Amino acid sequence: MKTALVTGASRGIGAAIARRLEEDGVKVRRHDSGQADLSTMEGVDKALEGIDSLDILVNNAAAQPAGPIETDTPESFDRLMAVNVKAPYFLIQRAPLNDGGRIVNVSSVATRMANPAQTSFAMTKGALETMSRTLAHQLGPRGITVNVVAPGATRTANNGAIFTPELETAIKTLTAHRRLGTAEDVADVVAFLASDDARWVTGQVIEASGGLFLGPPGQGAE
* C-alpha radius of gyration, the chain, whole number: 17
Top-confidence residue, 37 or 169: 37
Q: What is the pLDDT of residue 114?
A: 85
CATH number of 3-208: 3.40.50.720
* Mean model confidence pLDDT for the chain: 92
What is the tens place of the pLDDT at every residue in 208-218?
A: 988 877 766 66
pLDDT value for 134: 98
Per-residue b or e along 78-90, where b marks 16 or more CB atoms closer than 10 Å to that residue's CB? ebbbbbbbbbbbb
Q: What is the pLDDT of residue 163?
A: 77
Model confidence at 222, pLDDT cuts 50, 70, 90, reads low
- Write the pLDDT tens digit of every residue in 71-126: 999 999 999 999 999 999 999 999 999 999 999 999 999 898 888 989 999 999 99
Backbone angles phi, psi at 104, to 5 degrees: -125, 120
What span, in angstroms and rounded, lies between the C-alpha atoms of 3 and 53?
7
pTM: 0.92
Q: Where are the domains of the chain?
A: 3-208
Q: Bin 33: left if φ > 0, else alpha if -120 < ψ < 50, else beta.
A: alpha
Strand-pair category, 54-59 with 27-30: unpaired
Fill in the DSSP letter of residue 186.
Answer: H
Residues β-bridged to residue 4: 28, 56
